[in-house]
């Protein structure tokens, strides 16, 4: 999986993308597969933060890639390939059906009530669970803070994911969302305000005066079914973090908003399920060839 960040300001002129697109449009399957491998993890990492459940994010990633492949023959280079592809991503995650764990509407008040009513308990005893207790606490931390994102409506959520977690510039984000840079900055400020106010009021990770602690909530989350020791959704051993692929300067972290955003940049940056094989079968089908007009 390529770790090159396609969402930086300079990535729009990436010559490798354009060379691969030209070769893919000429019928070179290896170029098509290379494009998938370059972008699938980034698409997946946007989708999983929008939809919460990894399986829903995998489905969305495959659906986005199918949309892109079926439209690739019509890509004429009027915009960068990055802009063209990630506009498909943006439109898909904003308009796709709700994920299995994405509520129709979730308010910060409701989420806070749920946290308040989850009992504070000692972490599970290591002899009582088959999974490392540290991973269980990580799972509780990531699940809880990822759940907080669901309290933002989809538009706010996507803007926060792009602008705060992945640190996409207002220039790039405005291009992808087809809004003005000023509008993006205003909407990002509102999303930050809403989420950070809640975190400051409830979350012990950002405000030590708050009583809520991930380790103390872990057993309660297990009892409620939010954390399954036999099927961890988020926590992994030896995995890169978002901050490893989207490095933040020390000076930026000094700002209050960046300190809150750093909670999310400590979340894992996931390798997507490799979709090349599944899409290879699709690309080889006559129906797909007819739909794409690719050689």
Each residue's pLDDT, cut to its tens digit, for the chain (295 residues) gives 455 899 999 888 888 899 999 999 998 888 988 999 999 999 999 999 999 999 999 999 999 999 999 899 889 888 899 999 999 999 999 999 887 777 777 899 999 999 999 999 999 888 888 889 999 999 999 999 999 999 999 999 999 999 999 999 999 999 999 999 999 999 999 999 999 999 999 999 999 999 999 999 999 999 999 999 999 999 987 678 898 888 665 455 556 777 889 999 999 999 877 777 777 666 665 554 554 555 5
Give the model's pLDDT for residue 152: 96
Torsion sign, CA atoms 269, 187, 91, 36: negative
Is 212 in a helix, a strand, or coil?
Answer: strand
Query: How far apart are the C-alpha atoms of 277 and 138, rounded to whole Å?
Result: 31
Count of beta carbons in the 10 Å neighbourhood of residue 178: 10
Cβ–Cβ under 8 Å, residues 270 and 2: no
Give the model's pLDDT for residue 156: 97
Query: How far apart are the C-alpha atoms of 281 and 277, rounded to whole Å?
Result: 6
74: phi then psi, degrees, rounded to nearest 5: -90, -5
Using alpha carbons, list the distances in angstroms from residue 130 to 133, 158, 231, 288. 9, 36, 11, 45
Cβ–Cβ under 8 Å, residues 152 and 160: yes
Query: How far apart are the C-alpha atoms of 288 and 143, rounded to whole Å?
Result: 37
Contacts 24+ apart (CB under 8 A), 275-282: 275/36, 275/40, 275/58, 275/61, 275/62, 275/65, 276/33, 276/36, 276/37, 278/62, 279/33, 279/36, 279/62, 279/65, 279/66, 279/69, 280/29, 280/33, 282/66, 282/69
Give the model's pLDDT for residue 126: 86
Give the model's pLDDT for residue 1: 46
Q: What single string gives the DSSP state of each residue in 154-210?
A: HHHHHHHIIIIIS---HHHHHHHHTS-HHHHHHHHHHHHHHHHHHHHHHBTTT-TTS
Dihedral (C-alpha) 29, 70, 95, 84: value to the nearest 10 degrees?
70
Query: How far apart are the C-alpha atoms of 186 and 169, rounded to whole Å?
Result: 13
Write out the H or E segment, with its range, that includes residue 143: helix 133-149
Which residues, including other chains, have CB under 8 Å from residue 10's CB and lie 6 or more apart? none
Alpha carbon 256 to chain centroid distance?
A: 22
Torsion sign, CA atoms 24, 29, 35, 36: positive
Is 217 in a helix, a strand, or coil?
Answer: helix
Using alpha carbons, list the distances in angstroms from residue 135 to 45, 52, 209. 20, 18, 25
pTM over 0.85: yes
CA end-to-end span of the chain, whole Å? 26
């Amino acid at each position: 999986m390529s770790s090159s960040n396609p969402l930086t300001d300079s990535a729009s002129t990436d010559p490798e993308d354009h060379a691969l697109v030209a070769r893919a449009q000429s019928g070179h399957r290896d170029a098509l597969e290379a494009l998938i491998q370059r972008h699938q993890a980034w698409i997946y990492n946007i989708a999983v933060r929008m939809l919460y459940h990894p399986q829903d994010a995998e489905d969305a990633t495959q659906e986005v890639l199918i949309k892109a492949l079926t439209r690739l023959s019509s890509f004429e280079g009027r915009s960068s390939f990055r802009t063209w592809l990630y506009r498909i991503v943006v439109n898909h995650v904003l308009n796709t059906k709700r994920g299995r764990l994405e509520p129709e509407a979730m308010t910060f008040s409701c989420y806070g009530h749920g946290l308040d009513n989850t009992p504070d308990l000692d972490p599970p005893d290591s002899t009582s669970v088959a999974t490392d207790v540290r991973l269980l606490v990580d799972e509780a931390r990531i699940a809880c803070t990822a759940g907080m994102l669901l309290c933002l409506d989809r538009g706010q959520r996507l803007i926060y994911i792009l602008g705060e977690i992945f640190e996409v510039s207002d220039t790039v984000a405005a291009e992808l969302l087809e809004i003005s840079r000023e509008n993006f900055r205003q909407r990002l400020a509102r999303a930050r305000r809403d989420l950070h106010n809640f975190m400051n009021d409830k979350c012990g990770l950002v405000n030590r005066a708050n009583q809520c602690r991930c380790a103390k909530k872990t057993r309660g989350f297990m009892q409620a079914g939010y954390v399954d020791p036999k099927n961890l959704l988020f926590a992994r051993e030896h995995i890169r973090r978002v901050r490893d692929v989207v490095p933040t300067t020390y000076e930026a972290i000094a700002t209050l908003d960046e300190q809150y955003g750093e909670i999310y940049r400590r979340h894992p940056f996931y390798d997507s399920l490799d979709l090349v094989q599944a899409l290879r079968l699709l690309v080889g089908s006559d129906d797909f060839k007819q739909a794409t007009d690719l050689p």
